[in-house]
Structure 1
Amino acid sequence: MPRSESFSRQIWSQNIWKQDFNPTSIPSFESAFLATSSLINLPPLGVKETIFPWVCWVIWTARNQRIFENRVFEPMDIFSKAISTSREWNNAQASLISPQVPRNLQNPPSHQPLTELPCFTDTAWIASTNRA
């Protein structure tokens, strides 16, 4: 397995955006996130919003899987997982925002702008294997 720096560079060198982007030239995560929010994802990603946080998340989880489970991934696997995770998230958000049919048609609910989205998570612990 190549060094983590080289490994990460291989992931970021994938054709992600129409414009060039080198995360090593950005001073902070916040700056990188803001810089990528205006970049155009290349097709066939199928992701409208920036994929940057998803790539970061999958790099992080792959790092943890390597450390704690000795699982090793290829850079292209990381990139593919980031795309699929982003698509799953977008699909889940679309289903949350779908309009509700009012029960009482005489007093329909007022439509407030959506400023918060609930995020439900779940996990299970297997004590015999120490895995979540």
Structure 2
Amino acid sequence: GWGTLGGWQLAVNAHVSPARRKAAARLIAHLTSPEANRVLALHYARNPPRLALYDDPRLRAEEPFIASLKEALVRARPRPVTPYYLLIADVLQSEFSAAVAGLRTPEVALTRAQKQVDHLTGEQPPEEE
């Protein structure tokens, strides 16, 4: 199987002064630099978004598992594009947590999740309870 890609985005607000736009752009350039990504990986266990850092000798020496993370990142796929993504994620989190906690069997949790997602996306009418 594949993991999913997703994460944080950084942007510059177009409705601020030119000086603030310039400062924000400099901050983003710093935060996304290889050096900052290396620090975040080494000291804060953050996976670098820059693929080249997974081959960084210093990172590999300090965090040997980084090589396996690169393989997972290369195989990952983008999250599904849907306006219902947050609602679907809430359904999945709730049902999967119930299965892990032993409140439902995995089969029941998956069936419930599928029905709820189908309802959210208009694939199936709501069931009467």
Short-chain TM bin: under 0.3
The TM-score with structure 2 as length reference comes to 0.27
Q: Which has more helix, going by share of residues?
A: 2
The TM-score with structure 1 as length reference comes to 0.27
